[in-house]
Chain A
Amino acid sequence: MSDSAHPAIHPAPTTFIRKWVFSTDHKIIGIQYYFLALIAVFTGLALSVLMRLRLAWPTESWPWLETIFPVGFEGGVMSPEFYLAMLTMHGTIMVFFVLTTAPQGGFGNYFLPIQIGAHDMAFPVLNMLSFWVTFLSMGVMFAAFFVAGGAPISGWTAYAPLSALGEVAGPGLGSGQDLWIISIALFCIASLLGALNFITTVLNMRAKGMSLMKMPLTVWTWFTTAILALLSFPVLLAAGILLLLDRLGGTSFFIPAGLVVSDTVIESSGGSPILWQHLFWFFGHPEVYIAILPGMGVASQLLSTFARKPIFGYHAMVVAVFAIGMLGFFVWGHHMFVSGLSPFSALVFSILTLAIGVPSAIKTFNWLGTLWGGKIRFTTAMLFAIGFVSLFVSGGITGLFLGQTSVDVQLHDTYFPVAHFHMIMGVAAIFGIFGATYYWFPKMFGRMLHEGLGKLHFWLTFIGVNAIFIPMHLMGIMGQLRRYAESTEFKFMEPLQPYQEFVTIAALVTAAAQLLFLVNFCWGMFKGKKAGENPWEATTLEWITASPPPHDNFGGRELVVNHAAYEYGVPGAPRDYVMQTDPPLETTK
């Protein structure tokens, strides 16, 4: 440390509160976000396990569950309203507090400033504020479990007017739904603050020599994600304000005139349910990319690092990330082909949607190109990155079915899209998070995770998620509808029961395998092998500093970036990797 030589760099806080709780250090905030996501992901996972139990054995009684959930499990059988509440909360928690929070708020916060050679974010106080608003938002969301009527049953999409009418339309649609909306609104604000911080940091805080085209692809994906968040979350916020006013202010933005719910006439001056869908999906589709883009960045970083090769087609990758992000704003209508959308606009949305396949194909092709001719090191992180590519292909390519108007008619709202989006924005994104965790854990906590345990975790998870979600596509083809508490009421779904059981068993095994991760994580934090500065022999800036990095990231060093992000296997270089701050090669010769 050379604090005296560089008085400009802000001093580290000393009190516990300022250091660990209300910290403005992006690294602490990143870890805070990560732990928040960890709590959320295990909650969401538990909810999905409960749902799977009911789907596989709808009449089976589980008395021990009644002791835990006296309200939802009367007689040991999950009630349909509890099922729908689980479903809503599973979706909401996973999409917002895991898939949006962990890759962007967690890893993005921690590593974006370090990877561009900055001492911190552009607005550290704002950064702290973003986290605490997110925290508050999660508290409000979890509170929905405990209010009278329970959590809302309207799904994570909260389609109006079901979500707008209040308890007359079903249980959980009273204060549970209010809390849901307030939580989402808070989350929007937190995400906006975070997004503008990320963008400003990337544009303004790069170290000397860190040109845009020398940035790691992770930074590019966080940057693009921040742009998507900045422009899409305000629209969800607007929708949330309108919905809350419909519920509490007596307006009728989403409630059409002339509704009769259980023989009760609803007062309304005429609104549009389709409007909710437009606003929601205008946010909702970019949100899918908010979840998956950072995973793409991580996959690129890991494949290049562990194949010991520069990323194949760096410029094409940057362009593809941007193309996916920007096209994502013009395809929301493909969620609404059967909503009563104008058939003409459906045609346009369909063609634009399939166009997203092009940059996605580029990404896949370039990942394969990166592996080609490499010297692959099979670390756990690399296994998850390879798994990411495989899942990205499996999950992404089925979008070709759903993006077509005529094919979507039959598949819409069946398990087919459920399988599709779980595979891509759920599991693939989670694989990105896992890959990032195994890769960056040594930097964040100064200790290594256990590789053997990690690999076991990978094998079980990779086999497990394929066993869950590939058969689910077939179930969708056979007609299994989503958001059904059980599939015993319809003849055409009868043959599906064995599949339900198979998927549930696969899900139970996969969920259990996540305990390995938890054990590994806890063990690694305290007992793991000490990590050096650069355990993976990687090139980007986070690996030139201590593990964990000092408060100002680089100990007052002045950084000069001389090399592109992924210079592995450079002929004539002394090592098989050239770090970004290494002196130019001519002088070392």
Chain B
Amino acid sequence: MPVAIAPPEVKPEADREDRVPEPGGPGGGSGSEGGSGRWGDGGGRRLRPDSYQLGMWLALASISMMFIGFSSAYILGQGTNSQWRAMAAPPFVWINTVILLASSLSLELARRAPAATELKRWMTLTCLLGAAFLVGQLWIWRLLGDQGIYLSGNPHSSFFYLLTGVHGVHLLGGVAGLATLTARAWSSAPGVPARASLNVTALYWHFMDGLWIYLLVLLFFWR
């Protein structure tokens, strides 16, 4: 398992920060909207409304730098290593990609849901799709193992396991965050999780989605 030390990053943390079972601010919508300034931790500390958005963007910048580091290693290896043997994309990867894209779509539907019941349903679906993606990833790894393609086999397969693994750990953090929000949505009295945390989580989730597409392009189309 290549995953032990990859960072769970800040996502679950950001959730914990604003565990305020309040109906939140005036509205879901685009990322830059904010609450009334009352959704900060501690309930009403004077935060500018977009602290969590900003923090998340910074976290994403940081995650991007890590993947830029991996990418430069990948491109250097592909360009200079004579033992590089490109593996074919496991077909199941495409199904998994559809699942991940669908999760982003359902999260977006949740975010725009006018009523609490709909929101809860869409969020639950998103969680399930996210979990399904992760299970699918493990499944792909197992299939590859059966074909004799391991982490240590060839530089290209090493990178496949590395990149999908680190991405998977980040996504796991996202699923944990979403699951927390969803559980809160089902249990708490008002029935609506703080919109702000939902927006931040969505930002993270969509980024992971885009990152996945990028990784696929890097691994299987970049020549």
Point out residues on A near B: beta carbons under 8 Å.
8-10, 119-120, 122-126, 129, 182, 185-186, 188-189, 192-193, 195-197, 199-200, 203-205, 230-235, 237-242, 244-245, 249-253, 257, 269-272, 275, 278-279, 282
From residue A143, how far is it (CB to closest CB) to chain B in Å?
16
B17 at the interface (CB under 8 A from A): yes
Q: Which residues of B contact A124 (CB under 8 A)?
A: 41
Give the complex CA separation of A547 and B109 in angstroms: 52
Q: Please judge, given known A-B contacts A234-B62, A238-B70, A270-B81, whether A204 and B48 are in contact too, CB under 8 Å.
A: yes
B29 at the interface (CB under 8 A from A): no
Q: Which residues of A contact B50 (CB under 8 A)?
A: 204
Give the complex CA separation of A106 and B80 in angstroms: 44
Give the complex CA separation of A202 and B146 in angstroms: 52
A230–B58 touching, CB < 8 Å: yes
From residue B200, how far is it (CB to closest CB) to chain A in Å?
12
B73–A253 touching, CB < 8 Å: yes
Q: Which residues of A contact B114 (CB under 8 A)?
A: none
Give the complex CA separation of A120 and B46 in angstroms: 10
Q: Please judge, given known A-B contacts A241-B2, A245-B158, whether A196 and B66 are in contact too, CB under 8 Å.
A: no
Point out residues on B near A: beta carbons under 8 Å.
2, 5-7, 10, 13-14, 16-17, 41-42, 44-48, 50-51, 54-55, 58-59, 61-70, 72-73, 76-77, 80-84, 150-155, 158, 162, 166
B55–A122 touching, CB < 8 Å: yes
Listed A/B pairs (27) with beta-carbon separation below 8 Å: A8-B45, A9-B45, A123-B14, A123-B17, A125-B17, A126-B17, A186-B5, A193-B10, A197-B55, A199-B54, A200-B54, A230-B58, A230-B61, A231-B65, A234-B63, A235-B68, A239-B69, A245-B151, A245-B162, A250-B150, A250-B152, A270-B84, A271-B77, A271-B155, A272-B81, A278-B72, A279-B73
Q: Which residues of B contact A197 (CB under 8 A)?
A: 55
Q: Please judge, given known A-B contacts A8-B45, A250-B151, whether A123 and B13 are in contact too, CB under 8 Å.
A: yes
Q: Please judge, given known A-B contacts A119-B45, A124-B41, A271-B77, whether A249 and B13 are in contact too, CB under 8 Å.
A: no
Q: Which residues of A contact B45 (CB under 8 A)?
A: 8-10, 119-120
Q: Please judge, given known A-B contacts A8-B46, A204-B50, A245-B158, whether A199 and B5 are in contact too, CB under 8 Å.
A: no
If over half of B's interface residues share one DSSP class (helix, strand or loop), that class is named, otherwise mixed; here it is helix
B55–A196 touching, CB < 8 Å: yes
Give the complex CA separation of A123 and B51 in angstroms: 9
If over half of A's interface residues share one DSSP class (helix, strand or loop), that class is named, otherwise mixed; here it is helix
B47–A204 touching, CB < 8 Å: yes
Q: Please judge, given known A-B contacts A234-B69, A249-B151, A272-B77, whether A125 and B58 are in contact too, CB under 8 Å.
A: no
Q: Which residues of B contact A238 (CB under 8 A)?
A: 66-67, 69-70, 73
A235–B69 touching, CB < 8 Å: yes
B77–A253 touching, CB < 8 Å: yes
Q: Which residues of B contact A122 (CB under 8 A)?
A: 47, 51, 55
Q: Which residues of B contact A278 (CB under 8 A)?
A: 72, 76
- 10 closest A-B pairs by beta carbon, nearest first, are A250-B152, A238-B69, A234-B66, A196-B58, A234-B65, A270-B83, A10-B42, A235-B69, A251-B158, A204-B48
B48–A205 touching, CB < 8 Å: yes
Q: Please judge, given known A-B contacts A123-B17, A204-B47, A271-B77, whether A242 and B58 are in contact too, CB under 8 Å.
A: no
Kindly report which residue of chain B lies nearest to residue A191, judged by CB atoms: B62
Q: Which residues of B contact A125 (CB under 8 A)?
A: 13, 16-17, 41
Q: Which residues of B contact A234 (CB under 8 A)?
A: 62-66, 69
From residue A269, how far is it (CB to closest CB) to chain B in Å?
5
B54–A242 touching, CB < 8 Å: no
Q: Please judge, given known A-B contacts A185-B5, A234-B62, whether A252 and B55 are in contact too, CB under 8 Å.
A: no
Kindly identify which residue among B10, B58, B69 contacts A282, using a CB–CB cutoff of 8 Å.
B69
Q: Which residues of A contact B70 (CB under 8 A)?
A: 238, 242
Give the complex CA separation of A231 and B151 in angstroms: 28
A123–B55 touching, CB < 8 Å: yes
Kindly identify which residue among A192, A239, A241 contacts B6, using a CB–CB cutoff of 8 Å.
A241
From residue A551, how far is it (CB to closest CB) to chain B in Å?
12
A235–B54 touching, CB < 8 Å: no
Give the complex CA separation of A199 and B63 in angstroms: 16
Kindly identify which residue among B61, B63, B152 contacts A251, using a CB–CB cutoff of 8 Å.
B152
Q: Which residues of A contact B17 (CB under 8 A)?
A: 123, 125-126
Q: Please judge, given known A-B contacts A122-B47, A126-B10, A278-B72, whether A192 and B81 are in contact too, CB under 8 Å.
A: no
Q: Which residues of A contact B166 (CB under 8 A)?
A: 241
Beyond known contacts A192-B7, A231-B62, A249-B158: 16 more, CB 8 A cutoff = A119-B45, A123-B13, A126-B55, A193-B13, A196-B55, A196-B58, A204-B51, A234-B62, A241-B2, A241-B162, A250-B150, A252-B155, A252-B158, A269-B153, A269-B154, A282-B69
Q: Which residues of B contact A239 (CB under 8 A)?
A: 69
Q: Which residues of B contact A196 (CB under 8 A)?
A: 10, 55, 58-59, 62
Give the complex CA separation of A91 and B5 in angstroms: 23
Kindly report which residue of chain B lies nearest to residue A204, judged by CB atoms: B48
B42–A200 touching, CB < 8 Å: no
Kindly identify which residue among B6, B41, B51 contacts A200, using a CB–CB cutoff of 8 Å.
B51
Q: Which residues of A contact B41 (CB under 8 A)?
A: 123-125
Q: Which residues of B contact A250 (CB under 8 A)?
A: 150-152
From residue A525, how far is it (CB to closest CB) to chain B in Å?
30
